[in-house]
Structure 1
Amino acid sequence: MLEQRVSVIGAGAMGEALIRSLLGRDLVSAETLMAADVRRSKLDEIRQRFGIGVTADNREAARFGQVLILAVKPQQIEGVLRQIGPDLTTGHLVISIAAGVRLRFLESHLPEGVPVVRVMPNVACLVGEAASGFSLGRWAGDPEAERARRILGAVGQVFLLPEPLLDAVTGLSGSGPAFLGLVIDALADGGVACGLPRDVAVKLAAQTCLGAARLVLEAGIHPAVLRDMVTSPGGTSAAGLQVLEERALRAALAGAVRAATRRSQELSAGGSEEEPANGRLS
């Protein structure tokens, strides 16, 4: 269990997923967790569902928590930082999941010496299967990295990376669910064309992707080895793979990740309020 009290500022889908996972994994108790949000109805719902403290005052949340998780939209982040800044000390840890908001910006709106961590999660955090990257600010060291890893690990896998690589995380795991949604839909279309009921085809396609991912992650099977495991000479998989290679699926997916990464870089550099990949989760 974490020794520090935690405040989650922003109780939208992402904030609620973190609250649920932190409690469910016994990383915090209800007495050491608080949620802040401007929506009174949402706070009432959170209090009834999880039995934790709630507030509409971000400064109250900052005074309560030693770890502050900022789960608000990028266009709201500056206002939140200005509100909580006067109450923060070097003993706090600020974890931001605001898409595209860089460490330099976060630190410039907080007192000097406050440790900051920037995170790029993805939509699968809603089911505890996120693929997240995080980077450390100037005043965050090994203890803060370990604390962030434990918190973010409650909703999936997490990787410590230099901040410039978070754009690639956005392009791959942030945008990846959209790409895989297209893949699942296309596989299901193929199944329907071959006579399967639509609902069965969708579930078969989704479960097939899930099973393949678990073989890679849990059994440690390399994707190329997985391909060879189910591909016999002249067999069904070989016939299907030939079509995918002829139609350049591999190049298309790799190109999609590169394009999404470039767009993330453009949005971060330009200070756009458009939200890449995970923005609608806040």
Structure 2
Amino acid sequence: MAKELALIGCGNMGTAMLKGIVGSGLVAAQDVTVADVSETSQQRLAGELGCQGTCDNSEAVAGAKSIIIAVKPQYLDGVVKAFAPSVDKDAVIISIAAGVSLERLEGLLGADHKIVRVMPNLAAMVGESMSALCPNGNVTEAEREHVHELFCAFGKAEFIPEHLMDAVVAVSGSAPAYVCLFIEAMADAAVIEGMPRAQAYAMAEQAVLGTAKYLQETGTHPAVLKDMVSSPAGTTIAAVAELERGGLRATVVDAMLACAERNRELA
């Protein structure tokens, strides 16, 4: 089997990440092995990218320099315990399971292993993920940089202390769902006003995308941009006032705090 990178789990997130990594040229497809309990899933991804595939996780991780575990949190313990004896002692093991701490991962793999806890988001599917990286003390500076490069292949990545991971899940990991709700509501309002739904979604999506891009590229504070487009006695300030009356800020904060709390419960 390939020895550079092993991917355990060929679902949406695992597939999106690997496509970005291989597409960037950081790792050659022939140096990658993908594994999944579903033979159909691993064969599909292996065939699409030209890498090797297997249903045997232990076979996939044996000798691999880097291992990405992309399985759901409820399956993680069983999956890791099964392949742990086959992991090379110098391998860098990367987990994207929500709510699973470094301590828990070290308990499954051994405290002497090099482990990185990561929280990406579904925007990886279009190369725009925001990933938070948290390595344990065994990971070298060179290995940290390599992991950072891997996750920058499908978006942006930043190192954070582990105690902020619950906040990361709330502000980034789960954020696509909140943004979709907001876009849906914007589109619904446009439909009420008579706009065809497809056009309403296109306009709402581009408005959100363009606003985020403006903030990123100019460094403008969101409050400043909001004030810039809110003319005195104008249409925008009327909408802003209604959102404030409806408690938008408090609702968003409460929702994100609930998300963070749920992540703590999963740990």
TM-score normalised over the length of structure 2: 0.94
Instruction: Provide the residue aligned with 1:236 in structure 2.
Output: 235
Instruction: Provide the residue aligned with 1:36 in structure 2.
Output: 35
Contact 1:131-1:173 at 8 Å conserved across structures:
yes
Instruction: Provide the residue aligned with 2:122 in structure 1.
Output: 123
Secondary structure at the aligned position of 2:181 is classed as helix
Q: How far apart in 1 are the matches of 2:265 and 2:19?
A: 34
Query: What whole-Å deviation, never above 9, does each CA across 1:184-214 have from its counterpart, x for those lacking one?
Result: 1111111112221111111111110011111
Instruction: Provide the residue aligned with 1:82 in structure 2.
Output: 81
Q: How far apart in 1 are the matches of 2:104 and 2:13?
A: 21
Task: Tell me by how many angstroms 1:100 deviates.
Answer: 1.3
Instruction: Provide the residue aligned with 2:96 in structure 1.
Output: 97
Task: Tell me by how many angstroms 1:64 deviates.
Answer: 4.1
Task: Tell me by how many angstroms 1:93 deviates.
Answer: 0.1
Instruction: Provide the residue aligned with 2:106 in structure 1.
Output: 107
Instruction: Provide the residue aligned with 1:143 in structure 2.
Output: 142
Task: Tell me by how many angstroms 1:142 deviates.
Answer: 2.1
Q: How far apart in 2 are the matches of 1:26 and 1:100?
A: 31
Contact 1:31-1:53 at 8 Å conserved across structures:
yes
Instruction: Provide the residue aligned with 2:177 in structure 1.
Output: 178
Q: How far apart in 1 are the matches of 2:148 and 2:48?
A: 26
Q: How far apart in 1 are the matches of 2:102 and 2:190?
A: 46
Q: Which runs of 4+ in 1 moved over 3 A?
A: none
Secondary structure at the aligned position of 1:109 is classed as helix
Instruction: Provide the residue aligned with 1:271 in structure 2.
Output: none
Query: What whole-Å deviation, never above 9, does each CA across 1:25-67 have from its counterpart, x for those lacking one?
Result: 1111112111111211122212221111111111111124210
* Matched positions, count: 265
Contact 2:8-2:34 at 8 Å conserved across structures:
yes
Amino acid at match of 1:202: Y
Contact 1:10-1:36 at 8 Å conserved across structures:
yes
Superposition map of 1:10-89 within 5 A: 10-89=9-88
Secondary structure at the aligned position of 2:79 is classed as helix
Secondary structure at the aligned position of 1:138 is classed as coil
Query: What whole-Å deviation, never above 9, does each CA across 1:211-262 have from its counterpart, x for those lacking one?
Result: 1111111222211121122121122111111111222212211221122112
Q: Is 1:257–2:223 an aligned residue pair?
A: no
Contact 2:99-2:265 at 8 Å conserved across structures:
no
Q: How far apart in 1 are the matches of 2:128 and 2:161?
A: 22
Q: How far apart in 1 are the matches of 2:110 and 2:86?
A: 9
| Unpaired segments ≥5 residues, structure 1 | 269-282
Q: Which has the higher contact order (CA 8 A, sep 6+)?
A: 1
Task: Tell me by how many angstroms 1:92 deviates.
Answer: 0.6
Contact 1:89-1:111 at 8 Å conserved across structures:
no
Q: How far apart in 1 are the matches of 2:54 and 2:249?
A: 48
Q: How far apart in 2 are the matches of 1:35 and 1:244?
A: 47
TM-score normalised over the length of structure 1: 0.89
Task: Tell me by how many angstroms 1:107 deviates.
Answer: 0.8
Contact 1:88-1:114 at 8 Å conserved across structures:
no
